[in-house]
Structure 1
Amino acid sequence: MRLNPFGGSHRTRQADAVVTGAGSGIGRAFAVELGRRGGRVICSDIDAERARETVELVSATGGKAFDAVCDVSKIDQVEALAATAEQWFGKTADVVVNNAGIGRGGEVIGDAPLDEWHQVLDINLWGVIHGCHVFAPRLRAAGTGAIVNVASAAAFGVAPRMAAYNVSKAGVLALSETLAAELSGTGVSVTALCPTAVKTNILQDVSIGDENISEWGDRLLRWTGRPPASIARTTLDAVDRGQLYVVPQIEAKLIWQSKRLLPEPYTRAAGLLERLVR
């Protein structure tokens, strides 16, 4: 086992885990994969029926799962989720996957309603803040464990007309980096997942607001999207290796390097590409 440079070592096999947004997509894939690795999983989602469906899928792999309803934008519900985990596991969770999130986009800054900003930031950013605020002290006290925060390549890719989403995911990435530094040497690791297109229902559950962009997003999913199960396996393997960053797709890596090496040309090119798409 390789030592985690940010806090010790940890294995996701047979881990007691909490997954938010486990009712579909990447969250469901994380729950199922953790169950396949022999762990006990709390499948948390704002939708009770979807959470129960994920429990059934985890059980089918031989894992043991429980369902819980949690709106991650509400700190009291996240605190209740942590208390439920301690009750069911008899201790704090070993792995916490802060995954719950929504997609929004289609309008430029100034036209996008402020209600949309608040909704996206409340779930995508504050939801992860709440998860880290509640679970990090518990894991630090235990001296072991891992936190996985699901960000996005949007954290550094900053596509036009996706401002609220971009800001929320950039915040998640900065939060993850800060938390990793703070937990260094404690035995607790932090991993930030930054994928591009993943074949989930995020575009079906919410309105992108612009037909051209929505159609382009659907094509992107068909052409380059990876199955969420593959993303979950890759990420959990990275947790076992102690990686802070998981940038799983080639296009995500290209965006990452382009933004780092040529930030201003990249930003101008992103604007030109958006106008061509429209």
Structure 2
Amino acid sequence: MGHRRTKDADAVVTGAGSGIGRAFARELARRGGRVVCADIDETGLKETVAAIESAGGRALAVDCDVADVAQVQRVHDTALDWLDGAPRIVVNNAGIGAGGRVVGDAPLGDWQRTLGVNLWGVIHGCHVFTPTLRAAGRGGIVNVASAAGFTAAPRMGAYNVSKAGVVSLSETLAAELAGTGVAVTVLCPTFVKTNIFDGDLIDPGAAGLARRIAGIAGFSADRVVRTTLDAHDKGRLYVVPQLDAQLLWRTKRLLPAPYTRVAGLIGRFAPDPEEGADR
């Protein structure tokens, strides 16, 4: 069944209104599944559904703030009704960018918003959908984390913590679901060409730098998604799609203390992203 997991698989995708979420929704529809698309961005959500339908697929838009578990439960209930049963794939993708300030300077409100969406949103998705998938005895969960979850770059505290939590949650869930027929995959990319750098929790200077790097070295969302779903078909837990992420992953695991010292030095001597933010 492994190699057929994403073929004709009815799915739920959060954060489907743009970026990686939209790419997941479109690719799953292309593979033959009906897709329940959830997002807080109603305009983007309608655009995603329209794109899927114009390509001959079937999709349903559901407005949802993943930081609110009641809204995630509503997506679950709507999906079971529309699909006439449990989905085969649940993609917990919704996320926001945050960065540019050191711990202590970053407002606690930024931490709360970032963790509310990036970590609690995934927790809510896993909490609500896992019992349904376990009862069905089949299917899969794809959680979208980030290489930030293990690189721990300076000035990205809230974002790093949120993504590290998603990695740990995914590892825990994979252990708990072993032998149940439900697979778990966690995606950890570096730079992807999406609109995540446009968020108001990223300082303009840091956002501009990240946008430039993504434009030069980033992968397209479609490429990352195809790689992830193919890996999920093979039952892989970790998807680290880019070479830079793979090198950082191995270095951090082999040499954790030297890695952290070097990262600190780079962060200390790098230009302050707030400088020239209005240029």
Structure 1-normalised TM-score?
Answer: 0.95
Instruction: Give the fraction of aligned pairs with identical amino acids, expressed as a percent.
Output: 60
**Whole-angstrom distance in 1 between the partners of 2:210 and 2:268:** 15
Residue of structure 2 in register with 1:157 after alignment: 151
Tell me if structure 1 keeps the 8 A contact 2:17–2:38. Answer: yes
1:217 maps to which of 196, 210, 220? 210
Residue of structure 2 in register with 1:6 after alignment: none
Gapped regions of structure 1 (runs ≥ 5)? 3-8
Partner deviation per Cα, 1:158-198 (whole Å, 9 max, x = no partner): 01000000000000000000000000000000000000000
CA RMSD of aligned residues (A): 1.2
Residue of structure 2 in register with 1:101 after alignment: 95
Shift of 1:249: 0.3
Amino acid at match of 2:250: Q
1:275 maps to which of 261, 268, 271? 268
Tell me if structure 1 keeps the 8 A contact 2:198–2:207. Answer: no
Partner deviation per Cα, 1:37-72 (whole Å, 9 max, x = no partner): 111001110011111100011113321111010110
Residue of structure 1 in register with 2:235 after alignment: 242
Structure 2-normalised TM-score?
Answer: 0.95
Residue 136 (structure 2) pairs with residue 146 (structure 1): no
Gapped regions of structure 2 (runs ≥ 5)? 272-279
Residue of structure 2 in register with 1:62 after alignment: 56
Residue aligned with 2:70, SS: helix
Residue 130 (structure 2) pairs with residue 130 (structure 1): no
Tell me if structure 2 keeps the 8 A contact 1:86–1:93. Answer: yes
Tell me if structure 2 keeps the 8 A contact 1:149–1:192. Answer: yes
Number of aligned residue pairs:
271
Residue of structure 1 in register with 2:6 after alignment: 12
**Whole-angstrom distance in 2 between the partners of 1:99 and 1:54:** 15
Partner deviation per Cα, 1:97-124 (whole Å, 9 max, x = no partner): 0000001111111111111110000100
Residue aligned with 2:67, SS: coil
Flag as ranges the 4+ runs of structure 1 deviating above 4 A: none
Tell me if structure 2 keeps the 8 A contact 1:17–1:39. Answer: yes
Shift of 1:268: 1.1
Amino acid at match of 1:271: G
